[in-house]
A = this chain, B = another copy of it.
Amino acid sequence: MTPGAEIACNPSPSPAHLLLVECPDRRGLVHEITGVLFRHQCNVTSNHEFVDAQANRFFMRTEFLGDVEASEILEETSRLLPAGGTARLAPRGKRRVVVFASCEHHCLADLLVRHAFNEINAELLAVISNHETLRSLVEKFGIPFHHVGHEGRTREDHEAAIQKRLAALQPEWLVLAKYMRVLSAGFVARYAHRTVNIHHSFLPAFVGAKPYQQAFARGVKVIGATAHFVTERLDEGPIIVQQVIPVDHTHSAADMAQAGRDVEQIVLSRALKLVFEERVFLHGNRTIIFD
């Protein structure tokens, strides 16, 4: 009960352009890149840059307004970058996403709600699951639910069946929202750095199976969750978001799993917001995040 609403529902997304640059660092880059925008009479509404001094690498994310041919901006910017640099303009629509789930609902439900209320820059094309459990939840929100069971199938067969679904859906991104099957290296490679996973520990602690059981056995006083890009090596891809919560001796492994759900949900939703708004640069096995 609080008088006076403060939030307009569903603010329309910004019509700004988004320029993303990375290149070897050298003196004057900010001056020169902002010069391109200045000459085209664009207005920079948000700008972030970062130099990794050790690696001599420059990163920049610039939102700008202006009645321009964005491709001209891109071309002029690209021309002034040192060799080994790249500039790109972010696509302006929503990212096309397929979500994988198993039988836990919390991360998936959170995405469905945020999607329904237009809070993430993504179009959920479908949910693929190896269980029927979450069909009813997904279909409530009008999103197609594809059950691709793994029972009685080899991993190759199972993944082939999933690939067939993906071939039809043509997603740009995969999200593993508590998907409890290990994907093969070959599968992962097709979507490397385009797959976001939520792992229920603060990596690199407790890689692999049953992190909460491991956490309980080790007697830790904090547990956490990690959203990361999936690479060929399980749980070793670049980390996007991590968060922890305290636990104590009264928590069984099952209690930890329950307490961990909220943090998993928050961490995944935060990571997807960052990724789909093009706020994350990959830099080796690390991420640069302009928030």
Contacts and interface: CB of A to CB of B under 8 A. Distances in A.
Contacts of A70: none
18 contacts: A2-B179, A2-B208, A3-B181, A6-B253, A7-B257, A30-B47, A31-B38, A52-B249, A140-B140, A202-B244, A204-B206, A219-B239, A219-B287, A222-B242, A222-B243, A222-B244, A249-B286, A266-B266
Nearest to A103: B9
Given A49-B47, A249-B288, A252-B54, A4 B210 contact: yes
Given A3-B180, A30-B34, A116-B137, A205 B208 contact: no
A49 B45 CA distance: 11
- Nearest 10 A-B pairs (CB), nearest first? A219-B286, A31-B34, A205-B205, A221-B242, A4-B209, A249-B288, A140-B140, A109-B113, A28-B38, A3-B209
A190 interface: no
A104 to B, nearest CB: 6
Contacts of A169: none
A167 interface: no
A135 B264 CA distance: 28
Interface string A236-280: 001111111000111011100110001000100100000000000
Interface string A169-184: 0000000101111110
Contact of A2 (B200, B241, B248): B200
Given A137-B116, A219-B239, A210 B6 contact: yes
Contacts of A113: 105-106, 109-110, 113, 137
A289 interface: yes
Contact of A250 (B50, B182, B205): B50
Contacts of A3: 180-182, 208-209
Interface residues of A, number: 98
B140 A179 contact: no
Interface of A: 1-7, 9, 11, 27-28, 30-31, 34-35, 37-38, 41, 43-45, 47, 49-50, 52-54, 100, 102-106, 109-110, 113, 116-117, 133, 137, 140-141, 176, 178-183, 197, 199-200, 202-206, 208-213, 217-222, 224, 230, 234-235, 238-244, 248-250, 252-254, 257-258, 262, 266, 269, 283-289
A287 B202 contact: no
A258 B41 contact: no
Report which residue of A31, A210, A212, A235 has the largest number of chain B beta carbons within 10 angstroms of its beta carbon. A31
Contacts of A41: 27
Nearest to A249: B288
Given A103-B9, A137-B116, A249-B50, A219 B28 contact: no
